């Protein structure tokens, strides 16, 4: 019966010239879901918007949403949240079908301060709730921020809480994970085949915290994106090196949010759900780990973020 229903929907859409919408929906069916430790389900694959201008972010999100993406990652520090909000509104896709992630900056941390910052964030995103909200860096009064974030969850403004870059500080990690009422559902960190972050992955396992990867393609590293070992695997599957890397992320169980504004790259990145890497190829990918990170700012250097403010 379902196959006949799909057939009639296809005919109707062909007749009314709305095939692009169908393409987006069909593509989206292939994106796997991660069930977080609070029971909420999050699309495993999404679009990163770091370094995209507000207008470029809006256009990238519109392309992504049209091509099956249902997870968008932004932050106040990226200064493009309003672009995300506008794209979601213009896409015509129901809000509840799109997962929106954002992050609070350290200058917004503190009881009372953070709640006001969340309300301003909701206004920029043109939404009544955020699916996942991170504390962006482990400096400043992140404990005070977390207490306000818990209140925002209680008020229905936030669905899940996360910690971003808390691999920098064991003390900061345990201050949230061990002492707060609502536990983090996701940890966002730099992760890719050259830095597979084995230790931190083991550290979060007892808490059921999902790993979400930024710089999943090594921030466009020429070394990584021309790696001959990955290149041989790519040839075997008739895929690009970037697609092989992103598929590796998915099969490792990570949430992955490759950033792109080029429509071709946006479409290429999501075209990874029509194949699977073999156990042997996964083992080969794991062998490339050398814990080589591309972003290496120290925790001490990040302390300056506390006084760095952004316009609303």
32-307 in CATH: which number?
Answer: 3.20.20.100
Residue 16: is its pLDDT beyond 80? no
DSSP conformation letters of 218-243: TTT-HHHHT-HHHHHHHHHHT--HHH
DSSP conformation letters of 50-103: TT--HHHHHHHHHHHHHTT--EEE--GGGT-HHHHHHHHHHH---GGGSEEEEE
3-state secondary structure of 212: strand
The whole-number pLDDT of residue 8 equals 39
Per-residue pLDDT band for 193 (boundaries 50, 70, 90) equals very high
DSSP 254: -
pLDDT in tens, 21-66: 333 333 444 899 999 999 999 999 999 999 999 999 999 999 999 9
pLDDT in tens, 69-110: 999 999 999 999 999 999 999 999 999 999 999 999 999 999
pLDDT in tens, 232-286: 999 999 999 999 999 999 999 999 999 999 999 999 999 999 999 999 999 999 9
Strands 99-104 and 33-35: unpaired
**How high is the mean pLDDT of the chain?**
91
Q: What percent of the chain has pLDDT over 70?
A: 91
Residue 290: is its pLDDT beyond 70? yes
Distances, alpha carbon 87 to alpha carbons 18, 67, 109, 166, 266, in Å: 19, 13, 28, 30, 15
> Which residue numbers are catalytic?
78
Regarding pTM above 0.85, the answer is yes
Rounded Cα distance between 127 and 145, Å, is: 21
């Amino acid at each position: 019966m379902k196959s006949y229903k799909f057939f009639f929907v296809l005919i109707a859409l062909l007749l009314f010239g709305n095939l692009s919408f169908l393409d987006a929906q069909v593509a989206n069916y292939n994106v796997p879901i991660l069930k977080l430790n609070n029971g909420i389900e999050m699309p495993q694959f999404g679009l990163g918007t770091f370094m995209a201008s507000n207008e470029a972010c809006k256009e990238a999100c519109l392309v992504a949403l049209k091509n099956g993406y249902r997870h968008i990652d932004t932050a106040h520090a990226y200064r493009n949240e309003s672009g995300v909000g506008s794209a979601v509104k213009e896409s015509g896709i129901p809000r509840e079908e799109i997962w929106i992630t954002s992050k609070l900056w350290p200058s917004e941390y503190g009881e009372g301060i953070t709640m006001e910052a969340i309300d301003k964030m909701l206004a920029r995103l043109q939404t009544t709730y955020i699916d996942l909200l991170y504390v962006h860096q482990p400096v400043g009064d992140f404990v005070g921020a977390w207490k306000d974030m818990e209140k925002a969850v209680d008020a229905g403004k936030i669905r899940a809480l996360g910690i971003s870059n808390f691999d920098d500080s064991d003390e900061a990690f345990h201050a949230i994970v061990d002492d707060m009422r609502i536990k983090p559902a996701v940890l966002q960190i730099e992760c890719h085949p050259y830095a597979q972050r084995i230790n931190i992955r083991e550290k979060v396992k007892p808490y059921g915290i999902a790993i979400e990867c930024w710089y999943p393609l090594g921030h466009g590293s020429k070394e990584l994106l021309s790696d001959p070992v990955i290149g041989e695997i790519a040839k075997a599957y008739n895929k690009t090196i970037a697609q092989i890397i992103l598929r590796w992320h998915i099969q490792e169980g990570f949430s992955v949010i490759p950033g792109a504004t080029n429509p071709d790259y946006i479409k290429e990145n999501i075209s990874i759900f029509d194949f699977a890497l073999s156990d042997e190829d996964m083992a080969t990918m794991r062998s490339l780990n050398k814990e080589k990170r591309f972003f290496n700012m120290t925790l001490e250097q990040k302390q300056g973020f506390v006084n760095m403010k952004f316009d609303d």
